Structure 1
């Protein structure tokens, strides 16, 4: 097995923001592949808590309006930002698709909630790495607005929205840099 591929892929993974997306739509087949890869994330007791709602077309436009209007409703005059209001709407407009990242809590509470959140996060990481391999831009956003999504998304009992995964094609010749502090600063070997 060539471990160089996965090592390179992990180091290449980046947030690509909606403002960087172009007008080329992400094919439905590719979105389906992302979701299939998400489905293979680790899951304690096989609860498979990840739920995804793919939002495109008119529903994506309605989501942008709903989020911008909700931001206006919950923000005081002193802290309201016209820039942020416009950005909320523009993020939805720029994305080819928005995937609502949701978690279905095990209704029997057989395991701690943090384990189910971790499983959903690993499912998202699978999608993120898949996007990297396919040269699709993506970004996970978890704004305060997610706690108002129950009615818009028609969530089931025990289900909640953990964020939005924005998808879009972008100019892959654009250099996307990042850095990390050395792992040696974060590890203690106990022998």
Structure 2
């Protein structure tokens, strides 16, 4: 694996990466422009350093690139069609067939359940891992976003990712080269969300 150049980690740099991170959606990607695999590996390496109670490291990732994106597209559309029942929508079915092809990489996000700790802690650990991925993408100028749409909550979809019944599929992280940057973000005043006791 080739090393990706590191970025100096001064407090100012870290603050900047955190505060400028934005979700960049597929319609903002430059279709057909790949992200270097080594940047994806850097995202995954940083995900692997998320906090984890009892070091259970519950995060599991399946990366789809190249032709495997088409396989994912066909499989997820078929699962949706088979199990959506009365909620089936043709537009969503078509979207599931097209969405992966607009991306450079699609990363399926899963939680491998460990009964040694409460499930909430495992979910939180995976979420921290995904945040590390998002911040890494931002640092390298790559677009991406975490979605829990599509087949995320269809139980039968777990088989695609070798997940047991107690495990969870937690969505997909879509990655692409940025064509249209996201605008400035907004957050409410932190002072309104903090109770500070002395």
Q: TM > 0.5 between the two?
A: yes
| Match in the other structure for 2:38 | 29
Q: TM-score, normalised by structure 1?
A: 0.89
Check the 8 A contact 1:19/1:91 in 2, yes or no: no
CA distance in 2 between counterparts of 1:17 and 1:83 reads 18
CA distance in 2 between counterparts of 1:53 and 1:163 reads 11
Equivalent of 1:47 in 53, 56, 76 = 56
| Match in the other structure for 1:190 | 197
Equivalent of 2:78 in 64, 69, 89 = 69
1:56 is displaced (CA, Å) by 1.8
1:123 is displaced (CA, Å) by 0.6
1:76 is displaced (CA, Å) by 4.5
| Match in the other structure for 1:180 | 187
RMSD between aligned alpha carbons?
1.9
| Match in the other structure for 1:100 | 108
* Structure 2: runs of 5+ lacking an equivalent: 1-8
Equivalent of 2:158 in 138, 150, 153 = 150
Equivalent of 2:21 in 13, 35, 45 = 13
* Matched residue SS, 2:67: helix
1:99-144 deviation digits (Å, cap 9, x = unpaired): 11111111xx221010011111101100100000001111111126
Check the 8 A contact 2:96/2:150 in 1, yes or no: no
CA distance in 1 between counterparts of 2:163 and 2:88 reads 28
* Structure 1: runs of 5+ lacking an equivalent: none
Map 1:54-133 to 2 at 5 A: 54-76=63-85, 79-106=87-114, 109-133=115-139
| Match in the other structure for 1:170 | 178
Task: State how many pairs are aligned.
Answer: 187
CA distance in 2 between counterparts of 1:25 and 1:142 reads 23
1:150 is displaced (CA, Å) by 1.8
Given the superposition, is the C-alpha separation of residues 179 and 33 from structure 1 closer, same or farther in structure 2, using an over 3 Å criterion?
A: same
